[in-house]
């Protein structure tokens, strides 16, 4: 079983809709990351969370440590938001290795 599960795998919505992407994890973590990957392949870090909620523009990320769950919301979605959104966790325990990634949610916003 993958340690990081995302849902949905694919999401197509109309411009202006409110979008929610979910991430569940099964391990103890020190931080959770939301990343955005555009069709060219480059990855941009959107948020890093260890508790609560963060907001940047139209993007909101929340995390519930007790439930081991995080959500990424996009308000007033736009076609330029079309991308793959990836959830990744840094496991707790002090390890110096990299992140553990979900498989990504492929989002398409239609005009």
Partner 1 sequence: DGGITQSPKYLFRKEGQNVTLSCEQNLNHDAMYWYRQDPGQGLRLIYYSQIVNDFQKGDIAEGYSVSREKKESFPLTVTSAQKNPTAFYLCASSIAAGRADTQYFGPGTRLTVL
Distance of closest approach, residue 95 Cβ to partner 1, in angstroms: 7
Instruction: Between 74 and 88, name the residue whose CB sits nearer to partner 1.
Output: 88
Of the candidate residues 104, 105, 107, 109, the single one contacting partner 1 (CB under 8 A): 104
Smallest gap from Cβ 98 to partner 1, in A, equals 4
Measured CA to CA, the distance from residue 91 to residue 29 in angstroms comes to 4
Is 39 near partner 1 (CB under 8 A)? Answer: no
User: Binding residues for partner 1, per CB under 8 A?
Assistant: 2, 4, 30-31, 33, 35, 40-45, 48, 50, 86, 88, 90, 94-104
């Amino acid at each position: 079983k993958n340690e990081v599960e995302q849902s949905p795998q694919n999401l197509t919505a109309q411009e202006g809709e409110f979008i929610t992407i979910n991430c569940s994890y099964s391990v103890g973590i020190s931080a959770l990351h939301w990343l955005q990957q555009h069709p060219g392949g480059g990855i941009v870090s959107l948020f890093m969370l260890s508790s609560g909620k963060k907001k940047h523009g139209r993007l909101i990320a929340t995390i519930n440590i007790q439930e081991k769950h995080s959500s990424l919301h996009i308000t007033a979605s736009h076609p330029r938001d079309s991308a793959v959104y990836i959830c990744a966790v840094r496991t707790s325990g002090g390890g110096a290795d990299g992140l553990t990634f979900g498989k990504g949610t492929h989002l398409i916003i239609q005009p």
